[in-house]
Copies of this chain bind each other. A is one copy, B any other.
């Protein structure tokens, strides 16, 4: 019963097989192979427009390079206070931008509150050199607390961005999970809602190492080849990233995997709703559950073989913990089975 994280899972058989299938033979390195080109074209299809795609090795790389691409002197990027970029990337975004700042914005349920965003942006009057200058807003979709921005919510934030002349980045480490949750197209969730750059994650959803940085307006990606290479993210045998994306993006496998993960979360949430041992901190919308449980019950579950993490309470939590309670995170993935979910003794 592994609910620790979706990155504890392995590689989906179709993807493993395709990696093996492409292992023989020779091909041009550094993204110039036919397979690389084919997958790049596939991204155009998925996003319903010509996009600029850059394969990288980790989600942190995608996020950090997205910000490096829109970097400005004294630059400040706005993201949710609990954003992965702030909490879990060891300063990579600041490092790759040579010191551009991540400015935390609050908001309920893991979503940036657009009014608070406006208020924070107001602290940076144009030409007020002391404060620095806004350079981007970054939202995580699905969010770090398992919720999802609606298309309207994305659009509202993108309008704030436009007002301030800054791009909107979407950290899509769980892009597919959000997409099936919203039941819309990738185009609708991104550029049709005002998103400029996407970290398109596939690793957590059944690949072993397949992330892509997608610029929805290719003209903004002119320097990206240099930005990626300088950041040591240009793989020589990059076709093996392409070889993961190939089955992943074919016949909707990526959506099927995400749908399954989300369903396992709903199945687990259903069990939690009827349990007296544990309660939901808030309603899950993707493949992560945040729940409240007494320390002794958590202990009992772990003794029974369940693996999951205690979690820091968000700064703007909508719940309160009693003294003997903890917040825990339970994540499902493409590899989670109904049997596992049902076996959790809650």
Residues of A that sit less than 8 Å from B by CB: 2, 4-5, 7-13, 15-17, 19-20, 22-30, 56-61, 64, 68, 72-76, 87-102, 123, 127, 129-133, 203-204, 208-209, 223, 225-237, 240, 312, 335
Contacts and interface: CB of A to CB of B under 8 A. Distances in A.
A8 B20 contact: no
| Most B Cβ at <10 Å: residue of A15, A57, A312 | A57
B28 A10 contact: no
Given A9-B26, A73-B68, A232 B61 contact: yes
A84 to B, nearest CB: 9
A166 to B, nearest CB: 14
B26 A226 contact: no
28 contacts: A2-B26, A7-B29, A7-B236, A8-B26, A8-B27, A10-B22, A13-B23, A16-B20, A16-B23, A17-B20, A26-B335, A56-B232, A57-B57, A58-B232, A58-B235, A68-B73, A72-B226, A89-B232, A90-B132, A92-B231, A94-B99, A94-B100, A95-B99, A98-B99, A127-B225, A133-B226, A203-B236, A204-B236
B92 A230 contact: yes
Nearest to A15: B23
Contacts of A16: 19-20, 23
Contacts of A29: 5, 7-8
Contact of A19 (B19, B75, B88, B235): B19
A96 B99 CA distance: 8
A230 B91 CA distance: 6
| Most B Cβ at <10 Å: residue of A4, A72, A127, A235 | A235
A225 B127 CA distance: 8
A223 B133 CA distance: 10
Contacts of A68: 73
A129 B90 contact: yes
B57 A231 contact: no
Nearest to A87: B131
Contact of A73 (B102, B226, B335): B226
Given A92-B231, A95-B98, A231-B231, 14 more contacts: A4-B28, A16-B20, A20-B20, A23-B208, A58-B236, A60-B229, A64-B232, A73-B90, A73-B226, A96-B232, A132-B230, A203-B236, A208-B240, A232-B233
A78 B263 CA distance: 41
Contacts of A56: 232
Contacts of A87: 130-131
B129 A225 contact: yes
B99 A57 contact: no
Contacts of A75: 91
Contacts of A9: 26
Nearest to A2: B26
B229 A74 contact: yes
Contacts of A240: 11, 208-209
A132 B8 contact: no
B28 A227 contact: no
A41 to B, nearest CB: 20
Contacts of A73: 68, 90-91, 223, 226-227, 230
A58 B234 contact: yes
